[in-house]
Structure 1
Amino acid sequence: MVAGWSAMVRGTEIASFRRVTPAILASARLAMANDIPESTKAEVAILLKKAAPILGIDGSTYHIMDILIGLSRADDWAGTNRPIVAISNAKLAEYTGRSERQVTRCIRRLVEAGVIAYRDSPTGRRFVYRDKDGDISKGYGLDFTPARVRLHELKTLVEDFQARLNSEQEARRIVSRTSRAIVDACAAYPEHAEAWHSELQGLKELGLDKEGEAEALEAMHARIILAVTEEYVPHKMSGEGDISVTSIIYTTPQNSLECKKKWARSNERELKTKFSGRTAAGTSTERKSGAVQPESHPPVRKKSAGTVDEIQSQVLASVSVGLVRSACRQACEMVGTEIRSWPELAAAASTMRLMIGLSEAGWLDGTARVGRFAAAAILATVLEKAARSPDQITSPGGYFRAMIDRAVEGNLHLEKSLFGLADGVIKQTGERPA
């Protein structure tokens, strides 16, 4: 058994000094596969970033994966080529500001997640030799072939994950909406308030998931509506003892000229006939003079400088949702939604913060300081910059916090960054984004 294991390790080019696990061997077997789906670097990169929460890739591990993808060549992802990245752990530690031991753990996590595979040389060094056409003739390092082989599997995982997120979000909306409706019903019918409130608290304490809680609350709300409306349904009256009466309907047509003479004039015409035009003029003058008079109410006081609303208004003064959508195309693709309103952008922030390795506490701190919409626009900008130039932004989470600080100080010009990103889209595609 041990001999077979050692033979498998040697066949998959894993160095003997590594502690091999079944997950590492599974990635090595994927790297040896010959049936590789046709894909591009951009397609696999976006798919891996969408699947990162599913695979448990976040923080420093996500950052290192992003750098490795950026260092690979686009031609190595085409056809039957194998994208191999040869970079030392020391250089990765320098790029990310982490220790070499932490970089080693992050790479191991990527291998066990089935994203990359070890392709070790006998000496443990990582290097790539290319022929005159630029193709890899011999290479040792970190191989992204497992991600290419799992292309269709990862697509299915991402679709299921997105559907589950949408279902949970809709369930949360139903829970919030139905709970408010039940509370309103308790206020409208005090005689039932205690029983309904107790039932509502009992449902909350059952520990159901969001879908089950939403279904239970909807059923409770339907029972409340039925119980309330039944009290006001009029009883059907019996027809016993009614007198049969024949209706008399006049169907004789009348002369239209005679009817026109008998028609009563409207109040407006009577007033115009009764009163002279002088009265109308007087009324008009009175209204005009009333409009010209200054208001006696004191002016509404504005919010003091430095409030969250004022900071958010200042940051988004020259920023629209269309500008964010046009400038942050890669961010929209990674999130998997077409952002058309500020609430949609804010709803996608939970996914975007995972993609840049930002903690939930950091995101909540940013929203508390500059507002939810301004923080979401800043987050989309950071994600777009990190996706385009991963080597320049070594810590996207710190970059986000720095932009929040500048926004609070009044020194952030977000529109300039977005226009710069939009110009990059124009230069890359040759056409102006919609």
Structure 2
Amino acid sequence: MAIENPQPGTRIEKWKVFRDVCQARERLGIQDRALAVLDALLTFHPHAELDPSHGLVVFPSNAQLSVRAHGITETTLRRQLAALVDAGLILRRDSPNGKRYAHRNRDGEVEQAYGFDLTPLLARAMELALMAQDVAAERVRFRRAKEALTICRRDVRKLISAAVEEGVTGNWERVEAAYIGILSRLPRHPDRMQVEITLDEMELLREEVLNILELQLKTENMHGNAGQNACHIQNSNTESINELEPGSEKERAESAVADIRPTSMSPKRAKAKPEPIKAFPLGMVLRACPQIADYGPGGRIEHWRELMKAAVVVRSMLGVSPSAYEEACNAMGPENAAVAIACILERSNFITSAGGYLRDLTRRSERGEFSLGPMLMALMKVSGDSNRKTA
């Protein structure tokens, strides 16, 4: 009824409708060959707009259509024309003898035409536009779900690897098996719902891994081991500049050597060999230290190189000397030094001297007494508590 009695004054730009049909092709159940045929049909309509007053029936021969549809065979042409009719995009207007032609008046204007009617495109223009917008939005949701799954999967993989390498207590074989099982259930070509289900499962596994690490951290805090650094960063406002700046470095070094050597050993033999600090997942670092992202390009950080560039900017802002930062890079590695700067920025309101604090962490790292894990976990816990209070 809408096709036979279109609303008066209705008109639409024909190529806009064609773009909407292309966007919604899968929803309409047509192939790309059918789009080529529809494109060819629209080229036979002499006006830029579909307007009932100008006539919407085109009557090209199969030979002419084949040429404009990039030379497809007549068999394929007939099949795709039928598909366009079945999809409700065109109508057949058959003549008594089955041919396509038009009757014209003395002025050459078309009075009656037999061929393919483009009126359905005009009548369904709004429906096709909404369908195209929904398809575009669905594609965006699908892409974001896949990106989130990739980041979450990468975080879980790195957390498991870091935990195994650090010797953290836990049934990591079971966690590894759960990780592999979640990914194995994802089809080779999944849809958005399947990706989102996998993402939910992977996020739950990530939370479980973080809970295991947090429980381990609490256990170490109870025994006064690795948790000392977490307490140190939260209570550093009680330290003075004289305690952290290089002025008393000699005395602290002598004291540190005295603490770790037996009375009968020389300082050279008693010096502890520093252990390498493991790099943690970037996502974990950014959750623990969200402020560092403000100093990345465009106010965001997406990979380690951007984090290290942002750390150089923050280092200068906090008043950390280039030599102190260089020493930290040599002792910890450039990635971990950047993470240390991010942690200091996060607690800068409670740290009297950022430069002295970094030098102290550097010396602890050289003695093998420093780990980023407890520091990051403490900051993540503080950040989580803040978010819950805000909510």
TM-score in terms of structure 2 length? 0.49
Answer 1 or 2: higher relative contact order, Cα 8 Å, separation at least 6: 1
When the two structures are superposed, what TM-score results if normalisation uses the length of structure 1?
0.44
